[in-house]
């Protein structure tokens, strides 16, 4: 098998069925679908069992360890990441698979679309600004956990010295490791549609920004700082 898809999930019963429905409509001939349940107390795992090839239960809390757990279980050379609240276009796997192989990247991230709401428009503006900055000034692309493709062997080569895994901003911190073993690309035409629910509450936004500040500026242990759960 050439490709696996890993979807970490925590209490996503209201969203995950749409995500998995879209994944089952992929035009790629054959792939492995893995859902990693990170301690859900709702129907997330039960819903996933109706779709996934594997539902893995990861008791240790944190998006980083959940994603790494899924990577370990994956049988394929290439592993794609997305989130449980995303809707995936039919050519998503085909697009990433071709892009990473043709350009000799060890990993690549795709692009992001948001619903046409006020938070969605604001987030889209942020994403476009970040994409422009990374494309024309930095050339040091950061992966996005909701839309990325990674070579499994290169990923584990990159993170072999990590004693713990980030519970927040894992995609950015894994990216820094991957740049040491190869190039990370930006597949700008490969979009996923994602929920804006984390940006509809000003308190959640402020708490999230504070978490990022603690990790990126204060250099606190990212394995101890968790994503804020939202419904």
DSSP 72-89: HH--SSEEEEE-TTEE--
How far is 111 from 114, CA to CA, in rounded Å?
A: 10
Q: What is the domain range of residue 67?
A: 3-197
Average pLDDT, the chain: 85
Quote the pLDDT of residue 202: 65
Quote the pLDDT of residue 97: 98
Quote the pLDDT of residue 120: 43
How far is 42 from 40, CA to CA, in rounded Å?
A: 6
20 phi, psi to nearest 5 deg: -70, -35
Question: Does residue 210 form part of some domain?
Answer: no
Question: Does residue 21 form part of some domain?
Answer: yes
Question: Does residue 15 form part of some domain?
Answer: yes
Quote the pLDDT of residue 142: 84
Quote the pLDDT of residue 220: 75
Question: Does residue 228 form part of some domain?
Answer: no
Structure tokens at 144: 């996005």
CATH number for the domain harbouring residue 59? 3.90.550.10
Question: Does residue 212 form part of some domain?
Answer: no
Question: Does residue 47 form part of some domain?
Answer: yes
Residue 192's CB: how many other CB atoms inside 10 A?
A: 21
Structure tokens at 12: 């996503």
Q: Are 173 and 93 in contact (CB under 8 A)?
A: no
Quote the pLDDT of residue 3: 98
Question: Does residue 110 form part of some domain?
Answer: yes
- Total domain count, the chain: 1
Which residues, given as ranges, of the chain have pLDDT below 50?
116, 118-127, 133
Coil, strand, or helix at residue 200? coil
Residue 27's CB: how many other CB atoms inside 10 A?
A: 11
């Amino acid at each position: 098998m050439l490709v696996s898809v890993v979807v970490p999930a925590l209490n996503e019963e209201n969203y995950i069925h749409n995500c998995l429905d879209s994944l089952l409509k992929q035009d790629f001939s054959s792939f492995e679908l893995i859902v990693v349940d990170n301690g859900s107390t709702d129907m997330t795992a039960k819903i996933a069992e109706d779709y996934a090839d594997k539902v893995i239960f990861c008791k240790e809390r944190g998006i980083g360890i959940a994603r790494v757990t899924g990577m370990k279980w994956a049988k394929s050379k290439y592993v794609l990441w997305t989130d449980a609240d995303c809707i995936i276009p039919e050519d998503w796997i085909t697009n990433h698979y071709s892009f990473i192989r043709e350009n000799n990247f060890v990993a690549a991230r795709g692009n992001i679309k948001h619903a046409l709401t006020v938070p969605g428009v604001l987030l889209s503006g942020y994403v476009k600004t970040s994409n422009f900055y990374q494309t024309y000034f930095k050339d040091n692309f950061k992966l996005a956990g909701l839309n990325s493709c990674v070579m499994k062997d290169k990923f584990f080569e990159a993170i072999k010295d990590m004693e713990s895994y980030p519970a927040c901003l894992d995609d950015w911190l894994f990216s820094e490791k991957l740049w040491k073993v190869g190039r990370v690309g930006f597949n700008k035409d490969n979009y996923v549609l994602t929920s804006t629910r984390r940006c509809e509450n000003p308190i959640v936004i402020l708490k999230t920004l504070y978490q990022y500040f603690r990790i990126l500026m204060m250099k606190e242990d990212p394995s101890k700082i968790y994503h804020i759960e939202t419904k």
